[in-house]
Structure 1
């Protein structure tokens, strides 16, 4: 059975000590194995406290972030690239300090709607930066996940095949593909082929509905997706991600266009998601046995 995770933004909009305590306690109470912390406001985090709480409640941790347009490793501007690299190093260091083994997200550019295509130089800068950060992360025993996102959040990796091409170029043992059903629903032709194409190079999964609300309330073919995970023998983490205007993060909510209130009861949303994901994974596994 895969480890099941939940994104901290289901519970709280920041990671102050008070919010962190709530995030970790609620994640455990909802029955998850892992919590994913978004490092978009690391200045307010108390890393020692966070690590202690994770150990106390027996939870695993994954971290994620996206870069910004002024700190963008896919920029033509060397100063912007340098600032992006600094954010990536910080993210890897925080992940390791918390006892985490996974740092993913839009690590290859800004999480933003670009107004022009990527340049050849920008792509070279992104590949070079990822090579450097992969080397840095390897020494800290951290795996990097390149999250494939839709065209409104990146002009570089919008499909699994693009991510696999980038993995070939970066050529580091600790860099994997991170697929997210919400983004796949916009950019991919189906939920099967991209998973099969990734195979063993799929290292992390986000489960999100087409409207980013309750699982099963939108248009995503989760049965097909879970079946594909079963076909490749995926043993990694499956993390639930959902956003509502109820929980606001200053850095993320506007970037992700979280304008609507899709839920206001975090615990109901999360326990429903956990049951939904476990059921889908189990059904796919059983279907394979009988097949």
Structure 2
């Protein structure tokens, strides 16, 4: 039986930051390639005209998924509560856009700043974990009043020292103990951290509401060493019916490329990355 999924692609594959002027460049192309969903990476909500995006989604018959970007000024584990407030404001703006675009959740590693990878004493580790739980419970309340959920993303050990695996994120969700707390998994991070892909997906189970994919080297799906059969078995087992979205990054934005350590192009072109990746995923899902 084919997987009952939708196919998406991240705006980060093509451009950074996403802004209103990106719409007419990206949305027609993404729709023409055959994607169902555009995953909009919001770096700065002030750059985005929400109504213009909504109109374009309708015009090109696309659904939206929204993911966030979390740097040092958006760190819910920082000891400075003023940093928390900056992050809450950013998340609120993103949640408002989700509601406007009829997107049911906001996704990302919003528990901490990306790039915090340190050897900490146990008491500091626990303090940061407890801050993440406390602050994410507030974020869940913010989402719930808008009729939304959040999807928390584990990152690999080089990008986070807090949440790396399916087990970690499920522990976090369990401690948040809020109906709006759900999970996103990313195959790139899973290929580094998970000893058993299928079991990791099964562990998350019905909490999984989004999945991002790329090859083990963050390249075009189908071109590397990823155990795609294990991903399929896992998704079949939990009866996943959400979106499978290609996420990688354009090398053209040097700041973004440096942040994710992409030092050279990973495909002949970003358009080929997307179109060939989609062709592979459609075959894989059959």
TM range (shorter): over 0.9
The answer to whether the aligner puts 1:73 opposite 2:62 as a matched pair is no
Q: Deviations over 1:11-69 (max 9, x none)?
A: 22232333122121111011011111111132221211111100111111011113222
Q: Secondary structure at the match of 1:154?
A: coil
The answer to whether the aligner puts 1:248 opposite 2:219 as a matched pair is no
Q: Within 5 Å, give how 1:152-163 maps onto structure 2.
A: 152-163=158-169
Q: What is the aligned partner in structure 2 of residue 133 from structure 1?
A: 139
| TM-score of the pair, normalised by structure 2 | 0.92
14-23 or 163-172, which deviates more: 14-23
The answer to whether the aligner puts 1:234 opposite 2:240 as a matched pair is yes
Q: Deviations over 1:163-213 (max 9, x none)?
A: 011111111112211111100011110211101111111111011111111
1:173 aligned to which of 174, 179, 191: 179
Q: Secondary structure at the match of 1:119?
A: helix
1:86 aligned to which of 62, 84, 89: 89
Task: Answer yes or no: is the 8 Å Cα contact 1:207–1:240 preserved in 2.
Answer: yes
Q: Secondary structure at the match of 2:191?
A: helix
The answer to whether the aligner puts 1:277 opposite 2:281 as a matched pair is yes
Taking the aligned partners of 1:233 and 1:54, their CA distance within structure 2 comes to 27
Q: Which structure 2 segments of 5+ residues have no match?
A: none
CA RMSD of aligned residues (A): 1.6
| TM-score of the pair, normalised by structure 1 | 0.91
Q: What is the aligned partner in structure 2 of residue 24 from structure 1?
A: 27
Q: What is the aligned partner in structure 2 of residue 54 from structure 1?
A: 57
Q: Deviations over 1:126-158 (max 9, x none)?
A: 111111111111121222100111012211110
2:230 aligned to which of 224, 227, 236: 224
Q: Secondary structure at the match of 1:104?
A: strand
82-91 or 22-31, which deviates more: 82-91
Q: Deviations over 1:214-259 (max 9, x none)?
A: 11222211111112111111111111112241x3274x33221222
Q: What is the aligned partner in structure 2 of residue 191 from structure 1?
A: 197
Q: Which structure 1 segments of 5+ residues have no match?
A: 283-291
Q: What is the aligned partner in structure 2 of residue 288 from structure 1?
A: none
Taking the aligned partners of 2:210 and 2:39, their CA distance within structure 1 comes to 11
Q: Within 5 Å, give how 1:106-117 maps onto structure 2.
A: 106-117=109-120
Task: Answer yes or no: is the 8 Å Cα contact 1:66–1:109 preserved in 2.
Answer: no
